[in-house]
């Protein structure tokens, strides 16, 4: 569609060469617009109109999970023990105990050294540590074992016994055998009643049924014996203290060069007797019964052989 539009133009000033002209008509194009259609309301079906209004949405229904059978419990695996020879921390070495014993010669110097890694038998026969020329040794005399971190010495029922050096003052028990120098002694006890009945055969007898309110006092004696156990002489220990030595004391043994001048003392205490070493040169060696534990620096004696123990940690 084209619409004619008249626009007014101002007149020119007088004197202008151009004459006045009639107003011009300008044509302007206008886009045609479609006529507006009337709005028709939407039709709603009777079913929808009769339907109740929607309810507000509620919480979602809970999910029902079917029961699941419990799984059988699997026992946890037992931890694998770490051997003592291995370290729980890689690259860290575990200290290792090393046990050995060395020969001690008569002049005090040391001979060969034997490391103890298993049970070692010492004797005159077929043994790990063998001394065929020592006539005082039994074929299988004693054994040394390193077990559970401890070194142990055991006598194997030898004829002449196995002796260990006394570390400190020790109580004597009936039947104990000990060595001072080259002299062998056995400690025994008896009640005072037995001692009097043996000394006096015509002593008064105890009437049967007479009440004994308490045990009588105990006396002790010391037997000087041979290797076979035969007694050479006996000494009464009736004094509070009995001293033994090569030159001084109550019991003197002048012919033993291995005994110190004042070697040992036996002290009587209430109900017991104590054996003391008086800082002698060669010490006191006591015969072992069964098995004993050895410590670093201990010395033991069997036959004509003397040994010293060494325990180290590498």
In tens, the pLDDT along 102-125 reads 999 988 899 999 999 999 999 999
Residue 70: pLDDT band (50, 70, 90) is confident
The reported pLDDT for the residue numbered 211 is 46
In the predicted structure, residue 88 carries a pLDDT above the cut 90: no
Q: CA-CA distance, 160 to 63, in Å (whole number)?
A: 92
Q: What is the mean pLDDT of residues 273-280?
A: 96
In tens, the pLDDT along 188-222 reads 987 655 555 554 445 544 444 444 444 445 789 99
Q: What is the token pair recorded at 63?
A: 């999910």
In DSSP terms, 293 is beta-bridged to 152
Q: CA-CA distance, 121 to 106, in Å (whole number)?
A: 23
In the predicted structure, residue 101 carries a pLDDT above the cut 80: yes
Contacts 24+ apart (CB under 8 A), 275-280: 275/166, 275/169, 275/170, 275/171, 275/172, 275/178, 275/187, 276/169, 277/166, 277/169, 278/243, 278/245, 280/180
**How many CB atoms are located within 10 Å of the residue 160 CB?**
18
In tens, the pLDDT along 134-178 reads 999 999 999 999 988 899 999 999 999 999 999 999 999 999 999
- 3-state SS assignment for residue 282: coil
In the predicted structure, residue 66 carries a pLDDT above the cut 90: no
């Amino acid at each position: 569609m084209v619409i004619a539009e008249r626009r007014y133009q101002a007149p020119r000033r007088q004197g202008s060469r151009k004459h006045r002209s009639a107003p011009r008509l300008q044509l302007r194009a206008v886009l045609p617009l479609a006529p507006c259609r009337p709005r028709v309301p939407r039709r709603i079906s009777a079913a929808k109109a009769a339907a109740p209004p929607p309810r507000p949405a509620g919480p979602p229904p809970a999910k029902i999970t079917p029961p699941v059978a419990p799984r059988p419990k699997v026992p946890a695996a037992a931890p694998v023990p770490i051997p003592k020879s291995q370290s729980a921390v890689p690259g860290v070495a575990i200290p290792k105990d090393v046990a050995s014993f060395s020969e001690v010669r008569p002049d005090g110097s040391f001979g060969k050294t034997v490391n103890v890694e298993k049970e070692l038998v010492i004797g005159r026969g077929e043994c790990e540590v063998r001394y065929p020329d020592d006539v005082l040794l039994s074929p299988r005399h004693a054994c040394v074992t390193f077990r559970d971190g401890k070194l142990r010495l055991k006598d194997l029922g030898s004829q002449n016994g196995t002796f260990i050096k006394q570390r400190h003052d020790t109580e004597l028990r009936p039947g104990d055998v000990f060595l001072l120098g080259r002299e062998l002694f056995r400690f025994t006890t008896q009640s005072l009643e037995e001692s009097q009945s043996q000394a006096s055969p015509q002593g008064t007898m105890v009437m049967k049924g007479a009440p004994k309110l308490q045990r009588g006092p105990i006396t002790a004696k010391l037997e000087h014996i041979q290797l076979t156990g035969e007694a050479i002489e006996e000494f009464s220990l009736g004094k509070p203290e009995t001293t033994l030595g090569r030159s001084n004391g109550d019991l003197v043994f002048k012919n033993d060069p291995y005994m110190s001048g004042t070697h040992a003392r036996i002290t009587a205490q209430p109900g017991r007797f104590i054996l003391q070493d008086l800082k002698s040169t060669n010490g006191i060696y006591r015969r072992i019964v069964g098995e004993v534990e050895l410590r670093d620096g201990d010395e033991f004696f069997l036959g004509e052989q003397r040994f010293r123990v060494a325990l180290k940690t590498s």
